[in-house]
Amino acid sequence: MTDAYVETTILADILLKPKSSKQERALAALYRYERTMLPVYSIKEWKAGPLDYFAYFHDKLVETKSLQKTYRAVAALARGNRKDTAMEAIAAAASVRQSRGLTGLAGGDDRDQADFYRLNIMQLIIRSWRKRRKVTTQVVDELPCYVESEPRIGKGGYFDLHPQKCDPDQECCLAPLLKAQPQRLQALRESISKTSTRKEDIKRRQALKSLIKHPGEKVDRETCRHLGDAVFAFFCPEGAVVLTTNLRDHQPLAAAVGRSAEKP
C-alpha cells in the first residue's frame, strides 16, 4: 500500500511524546507511505482525549502548585482505561527525571518542579496544536460541524479546550455518507464481538445499529463520537491502510470492509 489513513494514536505519539521511541517509530512509519492522510476526525479525537489529559495535568499543577500533589491527585482518579501501574510508572519517571537534567534548573523544590512542568506542558499543548495539520502530507475529510479552536489559557490559568465536541444543533456532517452505505455499516457491526463487555464496543455496536435501523433519524454528536474507530475503517480510501498503534481494535474493523490496518 502506498497511502496511509492516519489514526488518532499516531497523531498523539508524534505530537505529545517528544524524543520518545514511539514518536520515532510513528514518524518513520509516515515515511513508508507516498501519501499520508490525516482525517479531521483524528484531530477531534486527539483533542478530546490525549490533549485533554495533558491539559488536566497542567491544570492540576496550576491548582496544587506541587508536582507531588499532582501525582497523587491524578493517581487517585479512576479514569477510563488507566492502568493499575500508573502511579509506579510516574514515580519511576519522576525518579529518572530528578536524576538528570531538571536538578540543574529547578532543583529539588516541589513548587519549582511543578512550575517547570506546567510551563513545559503549556508549551507542548499549544505548539502541538499548531503543528497538527503539518504532520501528514494531506488533511482530509474535513468536518464542517466541528470547529478547530486553539487551546487557550483561561480564567485562573486553567486550559480551555472548548469546543471538544461538534455543534449540537446540527446533524453530524458524516451522517449522509454513513447512511448511504448500510451494508458497510452492517459489516462493521458484525466485526465487533456481541459478547464484548468493553464499554466502547457496546456503544459502537449501538451507534452502528441505530444508523442501520433508523436511517431517517438525526445523527447526533454522541452517536458520531461512539462510532469512534469504526469511522476510520469506513472512510479509509481504497489503496490505503489505517495506520494505528491500536491494531487490536482497528484490524477487525478494517478487515470487515476490505481494508487493512498497520502499526508503525
Partner 1 sequence: MSDTAPITFPGIRIKHSVRPPDETGPPDTDRKDSTQPSDVGTAYERFVVGATVMDIDRFYDAAPGTSSQILTALEILKQAIDLLGQAQQSTIAIETDRIVQRFKLLLPKLFQCRAVGDGFGMIITSVHVAFENLNGTPATQVQIRTIWRILRELRNVPAMSVDHALRSIDEMEATGLEVDAPEVGTLLEEFDATDND
DSSP three-state, residue 5: strand
Instruction: State how far the alpha carbon of 133 is from the alpha carbons of 43, 169, 175, in Å.
Output: 9, 27, 24
- Least separation in angstroms between CB 4 and partner 1: 17
Size of the site for partner 1 (CB under 8 A): 58
Query: Measured from the CB atom, is 116 or 146 closer to partner 1?
Result: 116
d(CA 34, CA 5): 11
- Rounded Cα–Cα distance for residues 11 and 203 (Å): 24
For the purposes of burial, counting CB atoms within 10 Å of the CB of 42, is it exposed (0-12), middle (13-18) or buried (19 or more)?
A: buried
Segment lying near partner 1 (by CB under 8 A), choices 13-21, 133-141, 180-188, 209-217: 13-21
Spell out where the chain has E strands: 3-6, 35-39, 138-140, 152-153, 159-160, 240-243, 261-262
Mask for 135-164, x = binds partner 1 (CB under 8 A)? ------------------x-----------
Footprint of partner 1 on 176-195 (CB under 8 A): none
Place of cell 459502537: 204
Task: Using alpha carbons, select from 39, 36, 48 the residue that is nearest to residue 177.
Answer: 39
- Residue closer to partner 1 (CB basis): 95 or 195: 95
Map residue 136 onto helix, strand or coil.
Answer: coil
* Shortest Å, Cβ 253 to partner 1: 14
Q: Is 9 an interacting residue with respect to partner 1 (CB under 8 A)?
A: yes
Residue list 53-82, contact with partner 1 (CB under 8 A): 53-54, 56-57, 74, 79-82
Q: How far is the CB of 61 from partner 1 (least distance, A)?
A: 11
- Between CA 240 and CA 35 the distance in angstroms is 9
Contacting residue, 24, 110, 115, 171, with partner 1 by CB under 8 A: 115
Q: Is 50 in the site for partner 1 (CB under 8 A)?
A: yes
Taking the CA atoms of residue 78, residue 191, residue 30 and residue 83 in that order, the dihedral angle to the nearest 10 degrees is 20
Stretch that binds partner 1, among 31-39, 119-127, 160-168, 211-219 (CB under 8 A): 119-127
State the residues that interact with partner 1 by CB under 8 A: 8-9, 12-13, 16-20, 22-23, 49-50, 52-54, 56-57, 74, 79-83, 85-86, 89-90, 93-94, 96-97, 100-101, 104-107, 112, 115-117, 119-124, 126-127, 130, 153, 245-249, 263
